[in-house]
């Protein structure tokens, strides 16, 4: 599949092996994994950080195979999911950094173009999340108030 804002193909990567059951060497029980997930969330970790910690420190190759639910679903059941989806939040943080850079470097045309592309991705993602019901209908991305939105 082609890139969103470029006329080139993506690079190929390795693919996780197809499995239907958890490997025999993974011995962590599902309730223990859920407890670890909730503890990490209380420490302020994002879902992707939680997945990396579970993989690297606790030897859990796949949370969905081990518990039957994804990390986001476990957090939603406990009522601790984030208000803004993580991918959208990361794009907004990236756009804020670019805006800050442009204020200091007014003639940086490459960064201005990259900011346009990034904010286009933000608007497209907001539209998707509103239509899928993950964001309220009146939610709107405004670059001026984005920093305040993220701090809540």
SS3 28: coil
Q: Report pLDDT digits (tens) over 23-48.
A: 888 888 999 999 999 999 999 999 99
pTM value is 0.82
Quickly count helices (H) and strands (E) in the chain.
7, 0
Question: What phi and psi, each to the nearest 5 degrees, are found at residue 127?
Answer: -60, -40
How many C-beta atoms surround the C-beta of residue 146 within 10 A? 18
Q: Please tell me the CATH code under which domain 86-151 is placed.
A: 1.10.287.10
Average pLDDT over residues 72-76: 93
């Amino acid at each position: 599949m082609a890139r969103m804002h470029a006329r080139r193909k993506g690079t190929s990567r390795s693919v996780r092996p197809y499995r239907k059951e958890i490997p025999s060497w993974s011995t962590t029980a599902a309730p223990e994994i859920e407890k670890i997930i909730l503890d990490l969330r209380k420490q302020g970790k994002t879902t992707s950080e939680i997945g990396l910690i579970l993989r690297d420190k606790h030897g859990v190759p796949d949370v969905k195979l081990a518990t039957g639910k994804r990390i986001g679903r476990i957090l939603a059941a406990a009522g601790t999911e984030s208000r803004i989806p993580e991918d959208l939040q990361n794009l907004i943080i990236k756009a804020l950094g670019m805006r800050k850079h442009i204020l200091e470097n007014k003639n940086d045309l490459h960064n201005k173009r990259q900011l346009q592309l990034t904010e286009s991705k933000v608007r497209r993602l907001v539209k998707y999340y509103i239509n899928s019901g993950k964001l309220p209908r009146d939610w709107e991305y405004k670059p001026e108030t984005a920093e305040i939105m993220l701090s809540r």
